[in-house]
Amino acid sequence: MRKTEENSMKTGAGMMKVRAGIALSMMSFLLAGHCFCQKRPQITRPQITSVSHLGVYSSDAAKTEAFYVHDLGAFKAADPQNPMGVRYYFNAIQFVEVLPLPAGPASINRFDHAGYNTADAEELRKYLAAHDVPVPAAVSKASDGSQYFEVKDPEGNRIQFLQPPAHPLAVPVNPLSSHMIHVGYIVHDIGKEDTFYRGILGFRPYWHGGPTDDSSDWTSLQVPDGTDWVEYMKVKGPETTGIPADMSQQNAGVLDHFSLGVPNIEAAVDLLYAGDRLTARHSDPKIGRDGKWQVNLYDPDGIRAELMEFQPSAKPCCSPFLAPSPTK
């Protein structure tokens, strides 16, 4: 009997150990599962405050310089990101970056990338990574102290986010315009683009319209923390990205553009005439579909530079303005 009792006690103790081991394993599994299912840490998006720049290609550096410096009054300076490039500043943190036309097969494309200013490039890089946007491993640092990184939007357009340097370049005041109020470029699928600009970055609807009252070929979204905007220039065709195969270089340049804000278009045109600065292809002043006075000028490669009044003078077509317009 004693041996039987001893064996029973040993068996019971063994079972307790087995049960304890199973319980410990279950607890470890549950804890591991809990850790695996935890939500990602919330990262607050740093401010995106304004348009930074438009990057374009030039086939003739001298003619391009004459257009940006003589005609538009921009301040020429070295490119702190790319020694092959040149910057034409309209204020200390807004410019057109001009790059030499790439070697290789002939192309009508003159749009390289667009840029937006942010308060913190590194935090924005982390924010985009947390939202599954492919980002570089680290921000880049330019020779002027600015920090930046580049991503691609859903249609493959190259987009830079730039944190201006602590001590920006001293840029003389441009009597024509010192504010780049928007940039625009070709898109095909507005809904697809919205997943990035609106859904992830927080850009806000500003206005939409087109050549007819029921069209939305031009869709404007303001940056989350300012009044500057991006303008989708919608195109139609079998392509889903880039310039349609049947589009001319001139028409592509109309769509890939930047806009300089002016308080009064008549005064701006008078200034251009007085300085004999209307040397490039240009349009006459007109009220655009958004109700704002504008004049279009074109650089030697066809990129459109739009002079636009800050505030509308007439009722816009197609859509009311959904956010305040810039005032200066």
Given this model, what pLDDT does residue 104 score?
86
Smallest CA-to-CA distance from 300 within 275, 276, 282, 285 is with: 282
Given this model, what pLDDT does residue 214 score?
86
CATH of 48-309, one of 3.40.50.2000, 2.40.170.20, 3.40.50.300, 3.10.180.10: 3.10.180.10
Cα 297 from Cα 268, distance rounded (Å): 12
pLDDT band for 106, please (50, 70, 90 cuts).
Answer: confident
Q: Report the alpha-carbon angle 163-325-290, nearest 5.
A: 120
pLDDT, tens only, 50-98: 999 999 999 999 999 999 999 999 999 999 999 999 999 999 999 999 9
Which positions ≥6 away from 37 have C-beta within 8 Å? Answer: none
pLDDT, tens only, 12-31: 444 444 454 444 444 444 44
Per-residue pLDDT at 311 exceeds 90: yes
Asked if 174 and 90 count as a contact pair (C-beta separation under 8 A), the reply is yes
Q: What is the mean pLDDT of the segment spanning 308-325?
A: 95
pLDDT, tens only, 264-307: 999 999 999 999 999 889 999 999 999 999 999 999 999 999 99
pLDDT, tens only, 153-196: 999 999 999 999 999 999 999 999 999 999 999 999 999 999 99
Indicate the pTM of the whole model: 0.86
Beta bridge partners of 58: 100
Smallest CA-to-CA distance from 309 within 267, 276, 280, 274 is with: 267
Smallest CA-to-CA distance from 202 within 131, 141, 143, 151 is with: 131
Asked if 114 and 159 count as a contact pair (C-beta separation under 8 A), the reply is yes
